[in-house]
């Protein structure tokens, strides 16, 4: 992770979009961006938990703007919250037209990762304590989202 700090925030991935990332319309496939989002969150989760981790869920993803071949995609993520074995990571995706310098917000997503032991079962992770105002705000919002997810899971 580049620019990482005590709040486990930073730039995880920068990637130039190539023709093989595009659909026939010439825009980058949403699935490519989703893979990169999962990869970015995976890096943050693994570095925090220092164990195997799996994606338990990904909240809704909206694609606000298209990504074009030749754009530089940058993914920044933050660890927002930990519980017993799970953690929420927020990822923001930006696309840069490197010729004009225009930077666009492409998508954001919240992912829950679970740390697994060598037996494949969830294991406890360290408790994350946010250290500044923004991180505390993200932490409070993530706790509310966790409650909503729990309610949705119980309804299933």
Binding site for ligand COA (CB under 6 A): 54-57, 83-86, 112, 114, 122, 149, 153
In the bound state with ligand COA, the residue whose beta carbon lies nearer, of 17 and 36, is: 36
Residue 35 bridge partners (DSSP): none
Min CB(115)–ligand COA separation in Å: 9
In the bound state with ligand COA, the residue whose beta carbon lies nearer, of 68 and 83, is: 83
Min CB(98)–ligand COA separation in Å: 33
Decide if 77 contacts 40 (C-beta within 8 A): yes
Q: Which residue is nearest to ligand COA (CB)?
A: 83
In the bound state with ligand COA, the residue whose beta carbon lies nearer, of 80 and 86, is: 86
Residue 68 bridge partners (DSSP): 27
Residue 29: burial class (beta carbons within 10 Å; 0-12, 13-18, 19+): middle
What is d(CA 20, CA 130) in angstroms, rounded to the nearest whole number?
40
């Amino acid at each position: 992770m580049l620019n990482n700090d005590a709040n486990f925030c930073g730039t995880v991935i920068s990637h130039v979009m190539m023709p093989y990332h595009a659909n026939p319309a010439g825009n980058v496939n949403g699935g490519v961006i989703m893979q990169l989002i999962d990869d970015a969150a995976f890096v943050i989760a693994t570095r925090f938990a220092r164990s195997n981790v799996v994606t338990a869920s990904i909240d809704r993803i909206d694609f606000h703007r298209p990504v074009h071949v030749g754009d530089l995609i940058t993914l920044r993520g933050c660890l927002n919250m930990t519980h017993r074995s799970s953690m929420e990571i927020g990822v923001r995706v930006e696309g840069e037209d490197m010729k004009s310098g225009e930077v666009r917000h492409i998508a954001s997503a919240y992912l829950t990762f679970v740390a697994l032991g060598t037996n494949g079962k969830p294991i406890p992770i360290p408790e994350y304590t946010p250290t500044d105002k923004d991180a505390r705000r993200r932490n409070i919002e993530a706790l509310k989202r966790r409650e909503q997810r729990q309610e949705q899971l119980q309804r299933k």
